[in-house]
């Protein structure tokens, strides 16, 4: 990949998706494939790991998740840009509970590539980024609503 190719890329994200009890059902797989088919994202790396009760970690092969006899993720077989290595997978496993499996996915946000490329051409550069998990966002909204409700309620009389 040349530097010209990289300058046209969108932001790159990763996700570690835990499956407690090693229950990978394939639920959501069609949504991932849809995002790829519609060119919303491009999968750069996809790996699976399992963390046993004793803490040992094993890399898993792309599998038949829904038991229909076909490889569910065959389209991603060999998807490896080289960004994920054994150290990354061990670090991802550190976030897992015992007897769990995880999918580790690195993807490019194709939807943002034209904006990112235009901004780079204009001299902008990304200096920070992050992701707010949905659970944290909801907790923040609930806390703000609680403060608002408290401020809106009549003050308690002084003793």
What is the count of structural domains for the chain? 1
144 inside domain: no
- Cα dihedral: 140, 106, 17, 134 (round 10): 10
Q: Which domain holds residue 78?
A: 3-124
Blockwise average pLDDT, block size 10, the chain, 159 residues: 70 91 81 92 90 89 55 58 85 93 92 92 87 88 91 59
58 vs 135: CA distance, rounded Å:
29
Exposed (0-12), middle (13-18) or buried (19+): which is 47, by Cβ within 10 Å?
Answer: buried
Distance of CA 150 to the CA centre of its chain: 36
Q: What is the DSSP letter of 7?
A: H
142 inside domain: no
Model's pTM, two decimal places? 0.73
Query: 102: which strand partners?
Result: 18, 49
159 inside domain: no
């Amino acid at each position: 990949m040349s530097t010209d190719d990289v300058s046209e890329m969108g932001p790159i994200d990763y996700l570690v998706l835990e499956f407690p009890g090693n229950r990978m059902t394939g639920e959501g797989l069609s949504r991932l494939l849809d995002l790829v088919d519609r060119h919303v994202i491009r999968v750069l790396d996809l790996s699976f790991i399992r963390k046993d009760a004793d803490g040992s970690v094993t890399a898993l092969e792309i599998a038949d998740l829904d038991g229909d006899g076909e490889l569910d993720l065959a389209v991603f077989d060999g998807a490896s840009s080289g960004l994920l290595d054994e150290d990354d997978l061990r670090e991802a496993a550190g976030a897992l509970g015992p007897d769990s499996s995880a999918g580790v996915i690195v993807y490019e946000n194709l939807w943002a590539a034209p904006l990112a490329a235009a901004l780079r051409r204009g001299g902008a550069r990304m200096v920070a980024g992050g992701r707010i998990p949905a659970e944290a966002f909801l907790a923040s909204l609930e806390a703000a609503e609680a403060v608002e409700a408290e401020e809106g309620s009549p003050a308690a009389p002084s003793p």
